[in-house]
Amino acid sequence: MRKTADYRTKLKPVWCRGCGNFGILSALTRIVLPDLGIPKHKTLIVSGIGCSSRIPAYVDSYGINALHGRAVPIAQGAKLASPELTVLAIGGDGDLFSIGAGHLPHVVRRNIDITCIMVNNFVYALTKGQISPTTPHLERGESPFLSWQLYPPVDPMLDMLSYNVSTLSSFIAQGIATNVPHLAGLIGEGIKHKGFSFILVLTPCATFDPPFLFSLLKERASYLREGEPVELPDSSKEKPWLHDPDNINLALRLAESPLLEKPYLGVFFRGR
Amino acid sequence: MLGSLLQRLAAWQGYFSQMPRYYGAQIRGGGSAVKLGLDGRCLSLPEDSLDILVCFNWEKYLEFEHELELKGESLVLFENNPSTEFNLPETSYQVDFSKRSHEVTGSTIDKNIVALGVLLRILALDEDQVKIAIDEDEELKLLKQNIPALEAGGQLFTDFSFPELRLSPARDNSTKLIMHGNAAMARAAIRAGCRVFFGYPITPAAEIMNEMQLELSLGKGVFLQAEDEIASSGMALGASLTGAKAMTATSGPGFDLMTEMLGLATAAEIPLVIIDVQRCGPSTGIPSRSEQSDLNHAIYGGHGDAPRVVIAPYDMEGCYRLAIESINIAQQFQTPVILLSDQYLGQTFISTSDEFLRKYYPAESAKRATNTLDEYYRYRLTEDSISPMADVGSEGLAYQTTGLAHNEKGEPSFDFETNQIMHLKRWSKLIPLCHRDELVKVLGKEESSRGVITWGSSAQVVLETVKDLGLQDTIKICIPELIHPLPERVKGFIKSTEKMLVIEMNYSGQLHRYLRSQLDLPKSTEIYARAGGQTFRRKELAGPITELTR
């Protein structure tokens, strides 16, 4: 074990057993912060409201668990006033992509040097299981995706990867909460990247996601390696190409691949 | 433009003036008017009715008829005859400003300057002084390029032989400063050490943002136009966490959006200054017209018990002084402060002595935490309920805070006792403000048992009306600049009053209701409250104020 104790507060997390947030917390406190060697007083973690937004309370740096959807503006204000700080904004899929979605295109166009970690567990878990903008859906009229729901959630899923690629976020990556070292690598790279970094984390919700969702994601996940051919989903008629995170057009093609068919893990795009 | 040029030329010769602006919802063109009241002795409010009217368009005039009232002896210069039957005063003249402009400059666009030429002669402003001003003042370069138009106006004066309305000479001829309340607040913020500003455009507060942009550009600070008011207030709050004196400014609809951030600033005890330049509400209301109807929201807005400080200036000097005060109080008490201005205060151009700019104003900072071996508790309970604050970035003091109910350390805590104690802490830390007597103005005869309470820009009209009625030595007037928490001095004023009148510009009498919630009011308490959209006139207030003395 590395210097975990140094970056963990004494508080016991409120999360359920098997929650993916433990993996994200580990990535931050065991690997990212110790390895980057940023003094804890030079780090500020801002979060919204939701399960993942509890993270700041468990990391011994400066932190504020603020308002639902508002981590991104608060983080920008802090970074602009004190550019020497390392500022992270953390929120869930509902937080950053539903109530707080209006702030995203603007932080992207300003390219302010903060690292935004979107913890995507596909569900509103703190309020006990409502659909979020990223909840996958089956065809209209089929059995509901979330087992207890009376009506199938038929809202189309918001594709946050395509969104970020199309708005030209200057750093876009996707990790998975169950592979902590890989996720830590992405977050670390995002922090070091000069400009706005957006890191999506596929995260299991042990309580409200149907178990097959995450096992399916894990099973079909494909790691992106620079210079190596990308694995395309079976439905794709394209020819595989060599992964090049400098190329925004290739990033868009990756992002367009349906998440449930081929969840890519790694750096999608790294702008200058 | 005509008004601004005349105000400036008069300011060069030492005249005080107030110039409220009236305009509609148009982007460009459309109706707009100003009313300029020049005074050689002191800063005063323009009279209800006009001595001189220059009118280019009667149709548009009708939009502002209430503010630009004519009397029998008004001198009226107009370009075109009114299309409808119109009862013009005897001394009314049709003058072809546009035609004259075209004759001398080849364009009708300088008709304003031709009219200015006429007015300068009618008012008999010193011609040599006017020349010097035009020569030296960068702001008057438009005149410098248009001397023929100005002279053509002078010629018209001779041709028509208008009556002269010679201004009485200015008491002191030192050049006066021209500023509006919005600019005064922005400059005060800079003076108080604010170097971080986030805004979002809104009428009638946009000038504050524009001014801050100028002040903070080119590396002098941080300025950003946010995507909405949720973001602008959130950014200010984020900046404040790092120790910056941060501010934002808006009007009613934007203030609505800031409400959740206001609650967080109260809960997590983060200094935050929000200027609200009030306009007519509810909803979009009348964006360009003044009202005092955001008091309820300022005091009570948001869910939960969330104390905050509410301050309202009533004149431009107050806009400046109290903007500094607001930043100081936000720092000292680690609290949100709402600075309530209004469209009249914000946008009326004032020409006055620059004395208030030259005064000394202390700058306060938050009680800062120092790095000791003891464990740092962000919300440590102290005697004055104010906990030493660590700026994000300070070594050895890292803390985690939250809008959740929390303990002294800042950790989420849903324990009943802790929650109750933290409420007590946040409310009681503001109590010392109740003893800030200087934030309450009491004027007139202090021993009188008859008193008026008023606030914001309405107070100016109340004071002028009392003076007009010669009641300065009969009744007393109380103008609370600090409204929440309610100062003891206001309570004392009310307790020593037998007959009271509350005057404010909102439909429901918000200040009156607030005062009633704080203490028993005299049995004989009258309210004069009405919606905004039209400025108060002296003759309107003369009735209720006279009634008070009966």
Q: Minimal Cα–Cα distance from B271 to chain A, Å? A: 13
Nearest CA in chain B to A50: B404
For residue A139, what pLDDT band results from cuts at 50, 70 and 90?
very low
Q: What is the largest CA-CA distance in chain A?
A: 53
Asked whether the CA dihedral B460, B464, B465, B470 is positive or negative, the reply is: positive
Distance (Å, rounded) from C-alpha A172 to C-alpha A158?
A: 16
Give yes or no for residue A1 having a pLDDT over 50: no
By Cβ distance, the residue of B268, B397, B411 closest to A64 is: B268
Q: Determine the pLDDT at residue A75.
A: 98
Q: What is the DSSP string of B288-326?
A: TS-----HHHHHH-SSS----EEE--SSHHHHHHHHHHH
For residue B334, what pLDDT band results from cuts at 50, 70 and 90?
very high
Nearest CA in chain A to B260: A67
Q: Minimal Cα–Cα distance from B394 to chain A, Å? A: 6
Distance (Å, rounded) from C-alpha B266 to C-alpha B269?
A: 5
Q: Are residues B185 and B291 in the same domain?
A: yes
Q: Determine the pLDDT at residue B241.
A: 98
Select from A59, A80, A167 the residue whose CB has the most chain B CBs within 10 Å, as the one to mutate to test that interface.
A80
Q: Read off the pLDDT of each residue in B203-211 and give the average, rounded to a whole number.
A: 97
Q: Is A109 on the interface with B (CB under 8 A)?
A: no
Write out pLDDT tens, residues B88-145. 999 999 999 999 999 999 999 999 999 999 999 999 999 999 999 999 999 999 999 9
Q: Read off the pLDDT of each residue in A125-133 and give the average, rounded to a whole number.
A: 87
Does the distance separating the beta carbons of A57 and B264 come in below 8 Å? no
Q: Are residues B214 and B163 in the same domain?
A: no
Q: Minimal Cα–Cα distance from A103 to chain B, Å? A: 7
Does the distance separating the beta carbons of B398 and A82 come in below 8 Å? no
Q: Are residues B262 and B236 in the same domain?
A: yes
Does the distance separating the beta carbons of B238 and A76 come in below 8 Å? yes
For residue B228, which residues of chain A lie inside 8 Å, CB to CB? 102
By Cβ distance, the residue of A41, A65, A110 closest to B398 is: A41
Does the distance separating the beta carbons of A41 and B234 come in below 8 Å? no
Select from A33, A70, A109 the residue whose CB has the most chain B CBs within 10 Å, as the one to mutate to test that interface.
A70
Q: Is A63 on the interface with B (CB under 8 A)?
A: yes
Please list the alpha-helical segments (H only) found in A85-158: 93-94, 104-110
**Domain of residue B22, CATH code:** 3.40.920.10
> Is B433:B478 a contact under the CB 8 Å cutoff?
no
For residue A64, which residues of chain B lie inside 8 Å, CB to CB? 241, 268, 400-402
Write out pLDDT tens, residues A223-243. 999 999 999 998 889 999 999
Q: What is the 3 state secondary structure string of B226-295?
A: CCCHHHHHHHHHHHHHCCCCEEEEECHHHHHHCHHHHHHHHHCCCCEEEEEEECECCCCCECCCCCCCCH
Give yes or no for residue B372 having a pLDDT over 90: no
Q: Read off the pLDDT of each residue in B201-218 and give the average, rounded to a whole number.
A: 96
Q: Determine the pLDDT at residue A4.
A: 58
Q: Are residues B200 and B148 in the same domain?
A: no
Q: Are residues B186 and B157 in the same domain?
A: no
- Which two structure tokens, joined as six digits, stand for A49? 């409201």
Q: Which of B142, B157, B174 is the last residue in one of the domains?
A: B174
Q: B33-66: string of b/e by CB count within 10 Å (b at 16+)?
A: bbbbbbbbeebbbbebbbbbbbbbebebbebbee
Q: Is A57 on the interface with B (CB under 8 A)?
A: yes
Give yes or no for residue B278 having a pLDDT over 90: yes
Q: Is B264 on the interface with A (CB under 8 A)?
A: yes
Q: Determine the pLDDT at residue B83.
A: 78
Nearest CA in chain A to B263: A67
Between strands A86-92 and B440-444, the pairing is unpaired
The residue range of the domain holding B514 is 434-549
**Rg (alpha carbons) of chain A, rounded to whole number:** 18
Q: How many domains does chain B have?
A: 3
Q: Is B235 on the interface with A (CB under 8 A)?
A: yes
In a domain, B341, yes or no: yes
Q: Minimal Cα–Cα distance from B404 to chain A, Å? A: 8
Q: At what angle do helices B2-12 and B111-122 cross, to 10 degrees?
A: 40
Q: Are residues B240 and B156 in the same domain?
A: no
Distance (Å, rounded) from C-alpha B288 to C-alpha B126?
A: 35
Write out pLDDT tens, residues B520-548. 999 999 999 999 999 999 999 999 999 99
> To which residue do tokens 């006792």 refer?
B417
Give yes or no for residue A153 having a pLDDT over 50: no
For residue B444, list its beta bridge partners: B476
Q: What is the pTM of this model?
A: 0.95
Ranking A167-171, A186-190, B259-263, B308-312 by mean pLDDT, the lowest is A167-171
Q: Read off the pLDDT of each residue in B402-431 and give the average, rounded to a whole number.
A: 98
Q: Which of B111, B139, B174 is the last residue in one of the domains?
A: B174
Going through B79-195 in order, the beta strands assigned E by DSSP cover 92-94, 177-179
Q: Are residues B152 and B214 in the same domain?
A: no
Write out pLDDT tens, residues A81-91. 999 999 999 99
For residue A61, which residues of chain B lie inside 8 Å, CB to CB? 398
For residue A218, what pLDDT band results from cuts at 50, 70 and 90?
very high
Percent of chain B's residues with pLDDT above 70 = 99
Ranking A191-195, B164-168, B351-355 by mean pLDDT, the lowest is B164-168
Give yes or no for residue A144 having a pLDDT over 80: no
In a domain, B354, yes or no: yes
For residue A78, which residues of chain B lie inside 8 Å, CB to CB? 238-239, 241-242, 392
> Is B498:B469 a contact under the CB 8 Å cutoff?
no
In a domain, B512, yes or no: yes
Q: Determine the pLDDT at residue A155.
A: 52
Q: What are all long-range contacts of B377-381, with beta carbons under 8 Å and residues at least 24 apart? A: B377/B408, B377/B409, B377/B410, B378/B408, B378/B409, B378/B410, B379/B269, B379/B406, B379/B407, B379/B408, B379/B409, B379/B410, B379/B422, B379/B425, B380/B408, B381/B408, B381/B421, B381/B425
Does the distance separating the beta carbons of B234 and A82 come in below 8 Å? no
Q: Are residues B170 and B185 in the same domain?
A: no
What is the distance in angstroms between the CA of the first residue and the CA of the last residue of chain B? 45
Write the single-letter amino acid at B384.
D
Q: How far is CA A128 from CA A78, A147, A206, B402, in A?
A: 32, 13, 12, 22
For residue A74, which residues of chain B lie inside 8 Å, CB to CB? 234-235, 237-238, 241
Between strands B272-278 and B336-342, the pairing is parallel
Q: Determine the pLDDT at residue A157.
A: 65
Give yes or no for residue A151 having a pLDDT over 50: no
- What is the architecture of the domain spanning A4-270? 3-Layer(aba) Sandwich (3.40)
Ranking A53-62, A105-114, B162-171 by mean pLDDT, the lowest is B162-171
For residue B238, what pLDDT band results from cuts at 50, 70 and 90?
very high
Going through B115-212 in order, the beta strands assigned E by DSSP cover 177-179, 196-199
Give yes or no for residue A145 having a pLDDT over 70: no
Does the distance separating the beta carbons of B398 and A60 come in below 8 Å? yes
Nearest CA in chain A to B195: A81
Phi, psi of B284 (to 5 degrees): -70, -30
Q: Determine the pLDDT at residue A198.
A: 96
Q: Minimal Cα–Cα distance from B88 to chain A, Å? A: 55
Distance (Å, rounded) from C-alpha B512 to C-alpha B455?
A: 11
In a domain, B407, yes or no: no
Contacts of B287 (CB under 8 A, 6+ apart): B25, B202, B203, B204, B251, B279, B280
Does the distance separating the beta carbons of B238 and A81 come in below 8 Å? yes
Instruction: Output the average pLDDT for chain B.
Output: 95
For residue A137, what pLDDT band results from cuts at 50, 70 and 90?
low
Percent of chain A's residues with pLDDT above 70 = 90
In a domain, B228, yes or no: yes
> Which B-chain residues 155-214 have CB contacts (< 8 A) with chain A?
196, 198
Q: Is B273 on the interface with A (CB under 8 A)?
A: no
Give yes or no for residue B160 having a pLDDT over 60: yes
Does the distance separating the beta carbons of B403 and A62 come in below 8 Å? no
Distance (Å, rounded) from C-alpha B302 to C-alpha B403?
A: 14
For residue B246, which residues of chain A lie inside 8 Å, CB to CB? 77, 81
Starting from the edge strand earliest in sequence, which strands make up the sheet with A197-202, in order? A222-223, A264-270, A171-176, A197-202, A115-120, A86-92, A43-47, A62-65, B400-402
Select from A64, A90, A114 the residue whose CB has the most chain B CBs within 10 Å, as the one to mutate to test that interface.
A64
Nearest CA in chain A to B244: A81
Q: Determine the pLDDT at residue A147.
A: 41
Q: Minimal Cα–Cα distance from B219 to chain A, Å? A: 12
Q: Which of B174, B195, B228 is the last residue in one of the domains?
A: B174
- ipTM of this complex: 0.93
Q: Are residues B310 and B183 in the same domain?
A: yes
Does the distance separating the beta carbons of A11 and B411 come in below 8 Å? yes
Asked whether the CA dihedral B149, B151, B157, B163 is positive or negative, the reply is: positive
Is A266 exposed, middle or buried, given 0-12, 13-18 or 19+ CB atoms closer than 10 A?
A: buried
Bond into B204 cis (ω within 30): yes
In a domain, B186, yes or no: yes
By Cβ distance, the residue of A9, A67, A77 closest to B264 is: A67
For residue A65, which residues of chain B lie inside 8 Å, CB to CB? 400-404, 412
Q: Are residues B164 and B184 in the same domain?
A: no
Q: Are residues B139 and B153 in the same domain?
A: yes
Q: Minimal Cα–Cα distance from B308 to chain A, Å? A: 18
Q: Read off the pLDDT of each residue in A185-208 and give the average, rounded to a whole number.
A: 96
Q: Are residues B142 and B187 in the same domain?
A: no
